[in-house]
Amino acid sequence: MRRAISVPTVIGLWLFAEVIVFLVVVQSLGLFGAVALGLVTSLLGAATLRQLGVRALTGLRQSVHANKASQGALLDGALAALGGVLLILPGFLTDVIGLALAAPSVRQWLGRRYGNQPRRARREVLDLSPQEWRSVEDRSLSNWP
C-alpha cells in the first residue's frame, strides 16, 4: 500500500533543498551576490504581482461585462498571482517556479493540462469486415469530411 507524504515532510524537504541551492549560489556568487540576487528577485516578484494582477483583473472584468466569464481567465490570473508570490518569497527554487509561472506560455500549458477546459474528442476506429460496410455514392448524405 502506498503511503501519502505528510505536509510537514514536504515542507521540510523543500526547505532543505532551498538551503542547498542557496549554498550553491553562495559558492558561485559569494554571500553578497546571493543576497543581492534574492532581493532583486523579491522586488521583481512584487512588480510582477502588481502588473500581472492588474492585467488579470482587467481581463476578468472585461470578460464578465461581455458575459463571457471563463475559468481560463480566472485560472490564468491565479497562476500569475502565484508566480508573483513565489518570486517574493525568499529562495531560489521558488524564484525559478515563480519565473516560470510569470511566462504566459507556461500558464497556458498548465491551463490546458489541468484546467476544466473541454478536451478534443478522440476518434474511434471501427474495424469492419467487407460484408459489414457499403459504399455511398451521394456525398451529400455523408457526414464525413
pLDDT, tens digit, for every residue of 84-140? 888 888 889 998 998 898 888 888 888 888 776 555 555 676 677 777 777 766 556
Share of the chain above pLDDT 70, in %: 74
Q: What is the C-alpha separation between 19 and 25, in angstroms, rounded?
A: 10
Does the pLDDT at position 74 exceed 70? yes
Region 12-16 average pLDDT: 92
What are the C-alpha distances in Å from 69 to residues 7, 61, 91, 107? Answer: 34, 8, 35, 18
pTM score, whole prediction: 0.63
Classify residue 127 as exposed, middle or buried by CB count within 10 Å of its CB (0-12, 13-18, 19+). exposed
Q: What is the C-alpha separation between 81 and 60, in angstroms, rounded?
A: 14
Q: What is the C-alpha separation between 14 and 94, in angstroms, rounded?
A: 9
